[in-house]
Structure 1
Amino acid sequence: MNRRFLPTSNNVTPYLFFTGKGGVGKTSTACATAVALADEGKQVLIVSTDPASNLQDLFEEEIGYEKTTIPHVSNLQAINLDPEAAAAAYREKVVGPYRDKLPGPVVAQMEEQLSGACTVEIAAFDEFASILTNPERTSEFDHIIFDTAPTGHTLRLLQLPTAWSSFLEDSTHGASCLGPLSGLGEKKQLYAEAVRALSNQELTTLVLVSRPDESALNEANRAATELKEIGLTNQLLLINGKLQEYVEGDAVSTSFYERQEQALAHMPDQLKTIESFELPYVPYQLTGIKALRTLFREQTFIEETVETNSLADVSSLRNIIQQLGQKNHGVIMTMGKGGVGKTTVASAIAVGLNELGHSVHLTTTDPAEHLTYVLGSQSNHDFTVSRIDPKAEVEAYKKEVLTKAKETVDEDGLAYLEEDLNSPCTEEIAVFRAFANVVEKAKDSFVVIDTAPTGHTLLLLDAAQSYHKELERSTGEIPEAVSKLLPRLKNAHETDVVIVTLPEATPVHEATRLQDDLARAGITPSWWVVNQSFTATNTSDPILKARSQSETKWIELVSKDHSRQTAVIPWQLEATVGYDQVKQLTK
């Protein structure tokens, strides 16, 4: 058994980064740590760098782009970095000085170059780096805690200093997808200082948060490896949500406990070398200051709940599959906060449709791809599984663009184009085009897409409006699959969106915000799925039973206020891994 995580100002560094697979409890443990350090009398700032932040849900207080004082916690302030707002400010900073000096078409082209998701990434990083490296800001606080996005986004965010510094160092032509490089030259020093701060073991600790399950531990191991490679070697492993004991004769309790024990026993060897701590599985949801303060204490509290028949008006996963199966083809996308089970639900829908006799192609656009873990390499002529591999797509895209350009562009022009394609923005463009090509397959079969966590998903959908300009600029044409994509996604006869959530506050709030964003894009979800519900089991374990009672208000909120159609999936006694196991879930 690992030591219980009890952070104090004496045993943690000034800067703490909480990272890990979506849904492992990064935000809750980061917020609880912030409260604990502030309660010691330390000045603490917690910053979310996640485009889909939920600090406000845990603190039950609106948190904006400026520092917000958290009520009832002396010395604690919070910031939600808004990537979109940062991108708008960044665009204006780059373009503004040229508005009266350059012709209108040139300024318009600069704005167009700055319209991609790459600009959102670099703008958010500018804000992050300015906090980390500005003595005026850091001197205010004894500790700065960064609640980062799910692992795939975090890795990219933390690799940006190296990526962008290298790009700027090697570039000679003065322009890129980020606009004039002269406007970015001043950032070189900022990025170098950010890298030094991240790599300084006296200043920075990377807290790898994981649930005691195989998928989350593998993700933590991947993060540990890749972050060590870029200099973040001061790492700490935090196992969150470990059930301390099980109830004899309770199948749910026993299975839950044994699966956790087995996962910990077989964790990757590298993780075993990292200093590790543990937090127990608690019988309450981590929202509100009282709950956050209780997390690090031996005593716990049970939320007051009212027994209700929360499952009276909901359906099962089988109902979703039967309804979708009435069509002959179409696009089905599962969306939601990281860690809610999008991959499992997407796999189950695909398997269920295949069992009904339909031809199905199942794929993922998630950089932190978990589809292979759930289904392996299962495929036949009517059921195929694939992954959009960002690295492979980038290489194919660059090769295609350069090959075509050689027909009409001179040597200097090719050198400029090759340099432009070395921008980190190219990955987003290439992945987006591959996504459009996959959707095109839905003409005569079902295409089920396991999408990335919320922030990445929305960037992907928004790309339909911005990347077609970039594609046209790079290739001189817009592929038919790209031009048809957004109309196809908005057409309810062709596309069904299934929002996946857990019966907990943060995932439900996040799913609600996702639905609002989809509505602005003209997309209405067909179903909500509430996954991993203890309410739908007959457990007598006091901890799990208390959790099941706290679920009821969230299931009712989803079914009555947010969703046209709702399905609930019980917590499963066995891990849903492999085609046959996924097929059982559909029954």
Structure 2
Amino acid sequence: MLLNLARQRRVLFFGGKGGVGKTTMASAVAVMAAEQGRRVLLVSTDPAHSLGHLWGRRIGPHAVPLMAGLDGLEIDPAESLESHLEQVGRSLRKLMPHHLAGEVDKHLARSRDAPGIHEAALLERLAQTLIDGMQQYDLLVFDTAPSGHTARLMALPEMMTAWTEGMLRQRERSDKLGAALHGAGGAQDMAARIIGKGDQILTPAQRDDTIRSVLNRRRERFVVLRDVLADTQRTGFVIVLAAERLPVLETIEFEGQLRRAGVPVAGLVVNKRMPAQAGDFFAEKQQQEQHYLAQLREALPQLPVEEVVLQRLEVAGEDGIRALAGMLRAE
């Protein structure tokens, strides 16, 4: 399953409960694709940034080469928020009189802790990374945050697209009202009352064009992200889990959340499976894993399942990731 996904898809997302090996699996599949000659970008959206720890090197918010054909970057949520607020501030200052600049700064300061602002900022950065990456790479592999956070993030493109389109419709109604006021000779009086003497500000027509332009750019990014996430020919979402009670139950719930958000799951990877010939000490553990895997297959019979055996040594560094990729390719 993983080998086919690495060959056939343009975008892959790896998600699941924390600590199950999402970063390791995402890296191994990225290596597999790069070794097949594809140009690959490996992206971490997890605030913990375990990608750099796994590869044993610094990986920042800009793409850096990890090996031949493979680049990596880590999206920093804090940096994404600052960039998002800076863009919002620039737009607001264009639309507001100079004497209200202090109010803009106060609004941005309050917005920093507003519910959903971090997710919105991360979503915009994710969308732009995807748009830019699909122009430069053959495959994008996203190592996502733990499942609860990712489920909320995956539901946002549809919501944000609808919100932005609603704002554009509201602008259209406002434009019609403005045209009526202008025809009645009231637009200039209203603008004069709002702007005030001595302020340098865009004309009402320029202000409306700026708002429309900002909303349209945002809508275009979200539409692309929404469409890519829902396209099973280009995109695959892989849930990584361990054959244990809580990861299995969380995976079943996570799959339902993604499906309701319009993000179909391409398959499941059961990581760190106990080897069949592990001796008497682990025989009971392996039987317990089989019980939970039966529960998983009964709940999600439509999804392919790939099992990855527990490695003798911890996977770390390029050599360790290449070895795991080679094992996955051979299965």
Partner of 1:131: 129
Structure 2 runs not aligned, ≥5 long: 175-209
Instruction: Give the Cα–Cα distance (whole angstroms) in 1 for the partners of residues 244 and 118 of structure 2.
Output: 33
Identity in percent: 26
Instruction: Give the Cα–Cα distance (whole angstroms) in 2 for the partners of residues 246 and 77 of structure 1.
Output: 38
Partner of 1:227: 258
Q: 1:207 to 1:102 in 2, by over 3 A?
A: farther
Q: State the Cα deviation string for residues 366-406 of structure 1 (Å, max 9, x = none).
A: xxxxxxxxxxxxxxxxxxxxxxxxxxxxxxxxxxxxxxxxx
Partner of 2:218: 187
Matches within 5 A, 1:483-498: none
1:133/1:197 contact within 8 Å kept: no
Instruction: Give the Cα–Cα distance (whole angstroms) in 1 for the partners of residues 211 and 144 of structure 2.
Output: 28
Taking structure 1 as the reference length, what is the TM-score of the superposition?
0.46
- In structure 2, which of residues 291, 298, 313 is the aligned counterpart of residue 262 of structure 1? 291
Q: State the Cα deviation string for residues 196-240 of structure 1 (Å, max 9, x = none).
A: 111111110011111111211121111211211222225211111
Alignment-mate amino acid for residue 143 of structure 2: D
Partner of 1:93: 87
Q: 1:162 to 1:113 in 2, by over 3 A?
A: farther
Partner of 2:139: 143
1:286 counterpart SS class? coil
Instruction: Give the Cα–Cα distance (whole angstroms) in 2 for the partners of residues 211 and 249 of structure 1.
Output: 21
Deviation at 1:184, TM superposition (A): 4.4
More helix by share: 2
Q: State the Cα deviation string for residues 449-494 of structure 1 (Å, max 9, x = none).
A: xxxxxxxxxxxxxxxxxxxxxxxxxxxxxxxxxxxxxxxxxxxxxx
1:235/1:274 contact within 8 Å kept: yes
1:221/1:268 contact within 8 Å kept: no
Deviation at 1:97, TM superposition (A): 4.4
Range that drifts further, 217-226 or 54-63 = 217-226
Partner of 1:272: 301
Q: 1:249 to 1:145 in 2, by over 3 A?
A: closer
The answer to whether structure 1 residue 212 and structure 2 residue 239 are counterparts is: no
1:41/1:74 contact within 8 Å kept: no
Deviation at 1:249, TM superposition (A): 3.8
Instruction: Give the Cα–Cα distance (whole angstroms) in 1 for the partners of residues 52 and 5 of structure 2.
Output: 24
Instruction: Give the Cα–Cα distance (whole angstroms) in 2 for the partners of residues 223 and 102 of structure 1.
Output: 49
Instruction: Give the Cα–Cα distance (whole angstroms) in 2 for the partners of residues 201 and 185 of structure 1.
Output: 26
1:217/1:268 contact within 8 Å kept: no
Q: 1:259 to 1:75 in 2, by over 3 A?
A: same
1:139 counterpart SS class? helix
1:17 counterpart SS class? strand
Instruction: Give the Cα–Cα distance (whole angstroms) in 2 for the partners of residues 85 and 241 of structure 1.
Output: 34
2:43 counterpart SS class? strand
1:69 counterpart SS class? strand
Instruction: For CA contacts below 8 A with separation 6 or more, give which structure has more relative contact order.
Output: 2
Alignment-mate amino acid for residue 284 of structure 2: S
Partner of 1:327: none
Alignment-mate amino acid for residue 160 of structure 1: L
CA RMSD of aligned residues (A): 2.5
Q: 1:264 to 1:96 in 2, by over 3 A?
A: same
Q: 1:170 to 1:102 in 2, by over 3 A?
A: farther
2:237/2:266 contact within 8 Å kept: yes
Alignment-mate amino acid for residue 301 of structure 2: K
Taking structure 2 as the reference length, what is the TM-score of the superposition?
0.78
Deviation at 1:9, TM superposition (A): 6.8
The answer to whether structure 1 residue 122 and structure 2 residue 151 are counterparts is: no
Q: 1:13 to 1:282 in 2, by over 3 A?
A: same
Question: How many residues end up aligned between the 2 structures?
Answer: 284
1:237/1:271 contact within 8 Å kept: no
1:218/1:268 contact within 8 Å kept: no
Q: 1:56 to 1:219 in 2, by over 3 A?
A: same
Partner of 1:31: 27
Q: State the Cα deviation string for residues 336-380 of structure 1 (Å, max 9, x = none).
A: xxxxxxxxxxxxxxxxxxxxxxxxxxxxxxxxxxxxxxxxxxxxx
The answer to whether structure 1 residue 60 and structure 2 residue 91 are counterparts is: no
1:103 counterpart SS class? helix
Q: 1:298 to 1:132 in 2, by over 3 A?
A: closer
Structure 1 runs not aligned, ≥5 long: 175-179, 300-587
Q: 1:55 to 1:125 in 2, by over 3 A?
A: same
Partner of 1:177: none
Instruction: Give the Cα–Cα distance (whole angstroms) in 1 for the partners of residues 247 and 162 of structure 2.
Output: 32
Alignment-mate amino acid for residue 294 of structure 1: A
- In structure 2, which of residues 107, 118, 123 is the aligned counterpart of residue 110 of structure 1? 107
The answer to whether structure 1 residue 244 and structure 2 residue 303 are counterparts is: no
2:48 counterpart SS class? coil
The answer to whether structure 1 residue 153 and structure 2 residue 149 are counterparts is: yes
2:300 counterpart SS class? helix
Partner of 1:284: 313
Q: 1:75 to 1:257 in 2, by over 3 A?
A: same
1:46/1:78 contact within 8 Å kept: yes
